[in-house]
Structures are given as C-alpha cells and as structure tokens.
C-alpha cells in the first residue's frame, strides 16, 4: 500500500514536471520567434538606410567635382553594405540577386558602370520606395553590361 502511494506521487510529480517543461519550451519558442522577427526588422531598416547612403553617393558622384575615384570607392563600399543586409533578410531571394548583381558590376566593371550611374540612381531610388520596377530595371541594367569588357 505504501509502495503504491509513493509510485502515484512520483507519477504525478513526473507529469507535473513534464507539463511545466512543455510550457517552458513553448514560451522559449515564442520568444525565439519574436526575437527573429525583431532582428529581421532591424536588417530591413539597415538595408533601407544603406540604400539611402548609396543614393546620396550616386548623387554626389553625378553632381560633384573633385576626387571621383574616392566617391566611386565610397559608392562601392555602401553598395556592398546594402548587399550584405539584403542577404540577411529572409524571403528576399530575387531582390538579393538584383542587389548582388549590381554590386558585382560596380566592382568588376567600373568603367562601364560609371556611364550608367544616373540610371542606377533611378533604380536605387525606386528600390528605396519599395517599387518592383526598381529590381526589374536592376536586372536590365546588369544585362546591359558587357561582361567581357572593362
């Protein structure tokens, strides 16, 4: 009789511990999902901020005088930051490809890209405003680059 009572207490204790563990697991899963969403929002915000920097750099290059090489280097650097944040954003595959291709063209084909900076400025501004045509035009810009040239 005493043995049965001890076994029942242990069984009840085990069930309570299992329920508490399950509730704790669900809470941690919820916290993880919430934090993941917050991190994604931070990445999206940084993506937008860096796009604004690229737009400013393009405007400075197009309208400016002086050290064009330094301005182009700054443009490439800021575009690389945009590219990095684009790859951190979930469900952003096509956009990632467009940004990555533009970044690659800026790095690999500076002579050709310097002639297309006004078009790139329009594309970056469209992307900043969440317009799909910005990404479509980005692919068109990349296709217009002679990959065998400079």
pLDDT value, residue 121: 93
Residue 101 belongs to a domain: yes
User: Is 90 exceeded by the pLDDT of residue 100?
Assistant: yes
H or E segment and range at residue 91: none
φ, ψ for residue 9 (rounded to 5)? -60, -45
Residue 46 belongs to a domain: yes
Residue 121 belongs to a domain: yes
Residue 52 three-state SS: helix
Residue 150 belongs to a domain: no
H or E segment and range at residue 112: helix 110-114
Residue 62 belongs to a domain: yes
Residue 110 belongs to a domain: yes
**Are residues 96 and 132 in contact, defined by beta-carbon separation less than 8 angstroms?**
no
Average pLDDT over residues 107-118: 91
Average pLDDT over residues 28-33: 96
Average pLDDT over residues 126-134: 90
> Mean pLDDT lowest for which of 17-21, 77-81, 130-134?
130-134
Token pair in block for residue 12 = 């009840």
Residue 131 belongs to a domain: yes
Q: What is the pTM of this model?
A: 0.80
Residue 53 belongs to a domain: yes
Split into its structural domains, the chain has a count of 1
Residue 50 structural domain: 40-143
């Amino acid at each position: 009789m005493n043995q049965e009572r001890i076994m029942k207490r242990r069984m009840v204790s085990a069930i309570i511990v299992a329920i508490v563990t399950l509730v704790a697991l669900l809470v941690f899963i919820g916290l993880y999902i919430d934090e993941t969403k917050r991190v994604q929002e931070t990445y999206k915000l940084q993506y937008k901020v860096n796009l604004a920097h690229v737009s400013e750099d393009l405007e400075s290059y197009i309208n400016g005088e002086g050290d064009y090489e330094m301005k182009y280097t700054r443009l490439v650097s800021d575009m690389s930051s945009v590219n990095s944040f684009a790859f951190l954003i979930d469900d952003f595959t096509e956009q990632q490809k467009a940004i990555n291709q533009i970044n690659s063209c800026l790095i690999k084909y500076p002579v050709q890209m310097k002639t297309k900076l006004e078009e790139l400025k329009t594309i970056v501004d469209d992307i900043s405003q969440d317009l799909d045509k910005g990404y479509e035009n980005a692919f068109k810009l990349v296709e217009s680059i002679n990959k065998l040239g400079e």
